[in-house]
Amino acid sequence: AERPWVCKAIMAAQPPSAPGEPAPPPPPPPLQYSLLLQHLVGDKRQPRVWDPAALGGIPCPPKSEEQKMVERVMESCPFKAALACVGGFVLGGAFGIFTAGIDTNVGFDPKDPYRTPTAKEVLKDMGQRGISYAKNFAIVGAMFSCTECVVESYRGKSDWKNSVISGCITGGAIGFRAGLKAGVIGCGGFAAFSAAVDYYLR
């Protein structure tokens, strides 16, 4: 609230104006901090729209039709399945070569176990095992990625349930070739493994 003695003191401190001269302007009213706080943090505060260009940032131009088409292709199920197939092939080949490298029976002939294998035979056996692992990993990766994409598109959600459902379908499809029991075990094992990997990544 304004104090009357402050206004009287300000008016008394002003020199009297000479006759014929215009009167000096009245002093400004004292600052009211309550009104200032309302404009800063109160109800009268108006938030500004964030503009990256105003802060020296790089403005984001609108996407072209070619960029939108590329994004649609990269988010499609066939592209994800192909990418997982290639990644699984590379990973499986590396894993197969690694396991063949630490296996002491690589290159040995079961008909003549006492014969020492040559380097060519060892490399041939390592390559065959690497190709076998690469094919299996590629098939599993493509099946899992395609199934997960279809389940996610059907459910309209992206959560851990998609990995569990797709893992169960993939493991069951692979295990059913050996029978019903193997299919059930494969479904449960692959679903549990997918849930663990999804929990770790998230």
> How much is the pLDDT for 6?
44
82 plus 137 within the same structural domain: yes
147 plus 183 within the same structural domain: no
DSSP string, 44-55: T--PPPP-GGGG
195 plus 169 within the same structural domain: yes
- In tens digits, what is the pLDDT along the chain, a chain of 202 residues? 445 544 444 454 455 555 556 666 776 665 566 666 676 666 666 666 665 555 555 666 777 788 888 888 888 888 989 999 999 999 999 998 888 888 777 776 677 667 777 788 888 888 898 999 999 999 999 999 999 998 988 888 888 888 899 999 999 988 888 888 888 998 999 889 888 888 887 6
Q: In total, how many domains does the chain have?
A: 2
- The angle, 0 to 180 degrees and rounded to 10, between the axes of the packed helices 77-102 and 119-155 is 150
Contact 129, 92 (CB under 8 A): no
**Structural domain range at position 78:** 74-103+116-156
Structural domain includes residue 150 = yes
> Residue with structure tokens 């094992």?
189
Rg (CA), the chain: 38
> How much is the pLDDT for 30?
59
> How much is the pLDDT for 9?
46
82 plus 123 within the same structural domain: yes
> How much is the pLDDT for 194?
87
Q: How many helices (H) and strands (E) does the chain have?
A: 7, 0
